[in-house]
Each structure stands twice: as C-alpha cells, then as structure tokens.
Amino acid sequence: MPETDTAAQPSTPAAGGTGSPPAFADAVRDETSLRRFLHGLPGVDAVGLEQRAAGLATRSIKKDSKLWAIDTAISMVDLTTLEGADTEGKVRTLCAKGRRPDPEHPDVPRVAAICVYPDMVATAVAALGDSGVGVASVATAFPSGRSSLRVKLADTAYAVEAGATEIDMVIDRGAFLSGRYGQVFDEIRQVKAACGTAHLKVILETGELATPDNVRRASWLGLLAGGDFIKTSTGKVSPAATLPVTHVMLQAVHDWHAATGELRGVKPAGGIRTTKDAIRYLVAVHEVAGPAWLDPHLFRFGASSLLNDLLMQRRTQLQGHYSGPDYVTVD
C-alpha cells in the first residue's frame, strides 16, 4: 500500500461536511424526493459483497510494509471509553496513553482522538492540551438515540462547549426503518449545525439495519445531511463493525467524491481488536475507497483494546520476537 502513486490521489483534505451540494439539491427537496433518491440507489449484491470482502481479507502485505501499516492504524485510532463507571482518573490515563502510546518508543504516532461521554470532555481537553489529539464525544442520547430533538441538540451543544472537536451522533434507527427519512435527515442537519466547527460522525448502527441495501441508504442519508464521517456502530449492539458493511460505506464515500469532489470519512467501530483485523480494514480502504482514504482525516478505528495489540505487534516487528501484554499498558 505505501508504494501507491500519490499523484493520482484526490488532493483535498477532509471535506468538512458542508451539507448537500448543488448536484443533490433535487434529491433533498422534500420527503418524496429523498425517498425516491435513496430507493433509486443501485442494489447491493449481498453474495458478491461477502465474496469480495472475504477475498480482500486474505490479502497479505509485504514485511517491510507491515510497520507502516501498524503505525498508520495507530494514527487512526479513536481510543474509546464509554462505560457508566468511567472516572476522571481513567480518562486522564487514557489521554496519556493516546499522547504517548508506547513511552519506550517515542516514534510511535499519537492516536487520532480520545472518545468519551460529554461529561468527560472537559477532563480530556485539559489532559490532552496542545498534543494534537482530538477529543470526540458521543452525543444525541447515545447509544439508543431515543430522545427528543431538543435533548439531542442540548447534548451536542454541551459537548461542543466543553471543547469537543468531534461529535459522534446516533441516528434514530426506528425512524429510518419506518421510512421516515426526512426526519432522520433533518436531525442530522440540525446536529451538524449545533456542532459549529466540530466534525460530525454519523453512527448508523449497521447491526440494526438488517440489509446491505439499508446500510447503503443510511450511508447516503448521512452524507446528504452533512456528516463528515459515516460510522458503523456504537459498539453496544452485536454485530458491530464488519468488513462487508464497511465495504458498502467505503463505496458510498468513494461515489460521493466522484459526484461532488468532496472527501468524507468512514469509521468502523466495535469488535476490531487485533492487528490482523486492522490490516484487513486498511486493505479494504485502499481497494474500495482508494489510497487517499489511508489517512486519519478520512478513516478511523473506534476501539478500546486494538491499540494494545498494535503496540505489541509493532515491538515484534522491531525486535524480532513477540512482546506480551505485560510490556504495554493495559486499559
């Protein structure tokens, strides 16, 4: 992957999720137009999707590229703690790990962001300082999304005012599955407005969407409404991230770029625990979306335990022998 000719890559950084561009003005004019557009998207060949995902998952990378892949994956991690028992001390410890993932190896890249609940944002902001690590906060009645729009917007504003640079919102899956696409679209647009300069990741909760066609429609709905990223899962529902659904979402952002020139991101979250898993996702990114997406501005891993395995495998690459979990901090 690192040998790819970068001259052919799109040169624009992350798009910034500015909403529906003129090319899709008719698609979002009203509920009927939105429904017609979403149901007019090409159907997903579920068998072909599974076969392609399985085929790409068998790809291996050259040994001299593995360290690059590990460092790239580390730089894409949204290091996450979303538990009811979270404390300020735990968040500060996680932030220290995000800034310096392996203190004995200062060349290890920092993670992309620390992801916490809104009430822990201020703690994370103070702990991270000017490290360059972002602060992501879940919002909008995470993980269920079952609340009023007023509460969802207040939840978002609370996190942003505390210093969050990224907001991970959940869509109303009940509304989506009932075909109330306009309601979901409007909620995303209003949450995007409440984000101000913070980037918005739109969580689809693909494990509840049931079909690849629904994943494609929800992906496009998130993009049309202005999401900077589309994200698979909350990590609270099984199945969470899978390679096939991530393929569908990567294809959506690839097609969005082809139609608009804008770059939007993808974040699989939940269940990605090993370096082998991460590399499989990087191969999918390269082959489905394109090499430009091999960048933390456009691809993230939502994970809590993945970083530990990446660090252990990195030491293996450098030292020639496996380093057990006793050699890295355990969350």
Q: Name the residues annotated as catalytic.
A: 168, 231, 267
State in Å, rounded, how far the first CA of the chain is from the last one. Answer: 30
> Sign (positive/negative) of CA torsion 301, 305, 307, 311?
negative
78, β-bridge pairs: 113, 302
210: left (phi over 0), alpha (psi -120 to 50) or beta: left
**198 by DSSP, 3-state: which?**
coil
**Cα four-point dihedral sign 21, 23, 26, 27:** negative
Contact 315, 107 (CB under 8 A): no
What are the backbone dihedrals phi and psi of residue 33, each rounded to the nearest 5 degrees, phi first? -65, -40
Distance CA 114, CA 253 (A): 24
Residues in contact with 220: Cβ distance below 8 Å, sequence separation at least 6, in sequence order: 37, 38, 41, 252, 256
For residue 170, give the H/E element and its range: strand 166-170
